[in-house]
Structure 1
Amino acid sequence: MFNVEFLHVLREYEYKKIVKRFLLDARILEIGGGTGYQAKRLTEDGFIVDSIDIPNSNYAGQLEFPVQPYDGRNIPFPDDSFDVIFSSNVLEHVLDLPYLQAEMKRVLKPGGYCVHLMPTGTWRLWTNVAHYTEFFQKLFGLAPRLIPRGVSRYALSEVVFVLRLMVGTAKHYAIVPRHGETGNALSEIVTFSSRHWKKHFANQLFTMDEAIPVGLFYTGHMVLGPRLSLGTRQKLSKLLGSACVIYIVRPA
């Protein structure tokens, strides 16, 4: 179940990994700022930050930092404005990514670079598994209500209601929704892989400096949420794979 507070716990862990990749006194543009949590943290650490996001973002009503709305294509800043461009779980949601990346090159200063946090193919795989795990949990939770509490009309109508609820739940969970803008939940296992992104950046004339696994396991369904400690999630990442990778790229 989605939980903004737990999302911030994950983002704080990732932030501590990412902030080491920024130059001191850098002017940073964050694309896809969400609640503005990470932009706020960067500002607290002394960086100059501008954050932008589309106006109908899921986080539009939960802002912690002045995130500027933009059209999702044209970055509303002049050429050579930023030392670093930062995004967290954003690029996979951009339909015309080559256009936006051309915009990134335009607003980067000479010598500037990008820091992108991206979900991995293993995150996609385990999110698929968690999707159906959640489905069966809901079915098992409804199953005891199939036993009628008597022979009254009300008791029988309650059983019919639960059956309809179970059918509706099955329809809702039948197909795993894709996370990004293209493909499906299965093809994303490939398109979210480091190999795919390295090839993509090269095709868009970006040179890759680093690709660093964050070292934290979680899924899109936030399985167990805060009940599964960060320490345990670190250990699980060594067995099941890191949920995200940090890519550091610069215009070739």
Structure 2
Amino acid sequence: MFNIEFLHVIREFEYKEVIKRLPARSSILEIGGGTGYQAKRLTEDGYSVKSIDIPNSNYIDQKEFPVMPYDGRNIPFPDASFDVVFSSNVLEHVGDLPYLQHEIKRVLKPGGKCMHLMPSSAWRFWTNLAHYIELIQRELPHMPRLVPNGMSRHALKDALSVLRLMIGTARHYAVVPRHGERGNAMTEVLSFSATYWKRVFRKSGFAIHEASPTGLFYTGHMVLGHEVSISKRQQLAKWLGSACIIYVVRPREGQ
């Protein structure tokens, strides 16, 4: 189940993969900054960073860095402002992606590049399964109370109340929700693939310089969380697939 501390452990691992690919002393725009954790880390390592996110971000009350609110469409900076545009698990949530890609090209300096971390098909597949594992995790603690502690009216009423609660939880988990803006949880297994996103980037006028797995396995439900170490998750990624792919792209000349 969701845990902000474990999320930061994951982001720290991914951050180390990102920083390997960043030119020293770059000016960076982060889109979809969330808590600002990665922007804070970049700043600590000497980069000049601006971070933006929509005003109703899920992390509005968990800020670790001054993330600037914006309208989700128009990047609030002048042309040719940044060496790098960076995002982590953001582009799949953008409704009008062609417009945002146009804005990204506008604020990049000549010769600048983009680095986007994106969830993979493996992440989507295993998150679909983990959805029902999380259902079991939520239901198990209630199961002992399904057996009435005696035949009193109070005991029977309590067991019936627990049964209703469990049925309501099961209904809530009946359908796996989609993660991004398009399709559903099943079609996202395809639309989160590297093949799909390479096509999207090329269509938007970007050249693909890299599309590499980050080498860490996890799901959107954080099953077992801290109980599975980062080193074990790296081993799992070799067999089950990496949760994220890092894309390095540059605008094509004249586009």
User: Could you say whether these structures have the same fold, taking a TM-score greater than 0.5 normalized by the shorter chain as the test?
Assistant: yes
Residue 64 of structure 1 is matched in structure 2 by: 64
SS at match of 2:40: helix
Residue 95 of structure 1 is matched in structure 2 by: 95
SS at match of 2:178: coil
How far did 1:140 drift? Answer: 3.3
Residue 136 of structure 2 is matched in structure 1 by: 136
Per-residue CA distance 1:195-248 (angstroms, 9 max, x = gap): 110111111111000011100000000011111100000000000000001000
Provide the C-alpha distance between the structure 1 equivalents of 2:139 and 2:76, rounded to a whole number of angstroms: 48
Provide the C-alpha distance between the structure 1 equivalents of 2:235 and 2:162, rounded to a whole number of angstroms: 40
How far did 1:162 drift? Answer: 1.3
Per-residue CA distance 1:72-117 (angstroms, 9 max, x = gap): 0000000011110000000001000110000000000111110000
Residue 12 of structure 1 is matched in structure 2 by: 12
Residue 177 of structure 2 is matched in structure 1 by: 177
Per-residue CA distance 1:12-51 (angstroms, 9 max, x = gap): 0000000011111111000001111111111111111111
Provide the C-alpha distance between the structure 2 equivalents of 1:47 and 1:136, rounded to a whole number of angstroms: 44
Provide the C-alpha distance between the structure 1 equivalents of 2:62 and 2:166, rounded to a whole number of angstroms: 33
SS at match of 1:87: strand
Give the unaligned 5+ runs of structure 2: none
Residue 153 of structure 1 is matched in structure 2 by: 153
SS at match of 2:157: helix
SS at match of 2:184: coil
Provide the C-alpha distance between the structure 1 equivalents of 2:117 and 2:140, rounded to a whole number of angstroms: 36
- The answer to which of 70-79 and 198-207 deviates more is 198-207
How far did 1:137 drift? Answer: 3.0
- Aligned partner letter, 1:80: A
SS at match of 2:25: coil
How far did 1:142 drift? Answer: 2.2
Provide the C-alpha distance between the structure 2 equivalents of 1:41 and 1:134, rounded to a whole number of angstroms: 31
Provide the C-alpha distance between the structure 2 equivalents of 1:178 and 1:30, rounded to a whole number of angstroms: 24
Per-residue CA distance 1:165-188 (angstroms, 9 max, x = gap): 111011100001111111111011
Match status 1:217 vs 2:217: yes
Residue 234 of structure 1 is matched in structure 2 by: 234
- Aligned partner letter, 1:116: H
Provide the C-alpha distance between the structure 2 equivalents of 1:123 and 1:151, rounded to a whole number of angstroms: 47
Cα root mean square deviation, aligned: 0.8
Runs (4 or more) in structure 1 with deviation over 3 Å come to none
> For this pair of structures, how many residues does the alignment match?
252
Residue 49 of structure 1 is matched in structure 2 by: 49
How far did 1:7 drift? Answer: 0.6
- The answer to which of 98-107 and 156-165 deviates more is 156-165
How far did 1:141 drift? Answer: 2.9
Residue 245 of structure 1 is matched in structure 2 by: 245
Identity %: 67
